[in-house]
Amino acid sequence: MINTSKGNEDFLLKVMEKTGVTREQAQDAYEKSGGDLLDAMIYAERTYGSTAQRNANAYNAQQNAYYNPNANPNNNSFDVNGTAKKISDVIFKTSLEIVHNGNRVGSIPIVVFILALVCSFSSVLFVALVAMFFNVNYRISGNSSAGLVVTKLFDTVYSVVQAIKSSFN
C-alpha cells in the first residue's frame, strides 16, 4: 500500500525521476530500502533496470525501424536502405549521352557531369552550347523521370540553337 504523505510522495517522485521506474516499482524500492533514497535508487536500478539502459533500448528499437529493409511501405518509418538504393540507381545507372547528327557518339556518368558543372559551371555550359552549333545534342539515359524533363530541356535548347544557326545562313 502506498503511503500518501508529502515526504513519501517526494521520495517516490525522486526515485521515479532518477531511475525511470513506475510508481509501484518506486514504492517497492522505498519499502525494501527502509526509506533511504540512495538505497532505493540502487535497488530500483538493479531490480528494474537503469534509465540509461531503457533509453538505449528504446533508441535502438527506434533505429532498427529505420533500417528495416522489410518495412511496411504504408507505415511512416524511413527506410534508409531503400532510399540509398534509389539514390545510387539514379547516380550510377544514369548517364549523359552525347548525340551527333542523330547518332550516339558517347556517354558519361551523370555524376561526372554534375561534378563538372559544380566545379566549372560556366566552362561546361559554354562548351555544351558551342557544341550544339555543330549538331551535338544531349540526352539523359536511365530510369529517372527527371531525366525525361532534362532531355526535353536539352531538346528545346538544341532547337533554339539550330534556329539561331539557321538565321545566320
Domain count across the chain: 2
Q: Do residues 60 and 106 both lie within one domain?
A: no
Q: Do residues 61 and 108 both lie within one domain?
A: no
- C-alpha to C-alpha distance for 19 and 144, rounded to whole angstroms: 52
How much is the pLDDT for 64? 52
How much is the pLDDT for 100? 92
Question: Does residue 1 belong to any structural domain of this protein?
Answer: no
How much is the pLDDT for 1? 44
How much is the pLDDT for 59? 52
Question: Does residue 139 belong to any structural domain of this protein?
Answer: yes
How much is the pLDDT for 2? 46
How much is the pLDDT for 76? 52
Question: Does residue 138 belong to any structural domain of this protein?
Answer: yes
Measured in whole angstroms, the distance separating CA 114 from the mean position of its chain's CA atoms is: 21
Domain range spanning residue 151?
88-167
Question: Does residue 74 belong to any structural domain of this protein?
Answer: no
- C-alpha to C-alpha distance for 91 and 86, rounded to whole angstroms: 9
Q: Do residues 59 and 115 both lie within one domain?
A: no
How much is the pLDDT for 131? 92
40 contacts: CB under 8 Å, gap ≥ 6: 11, 15, 26, 29, 30, 32, 33
pTM for the full model? Answer: 0.48
Show the low-confidence residues of the chain (pLDDT under 70). Answer: 1-6, 50-81
How much is the pLDDT for 53? 58
Q: Do residues 46 and 107 both lie within one domain?
A: no
The SS3 assignment for 151 reads helix
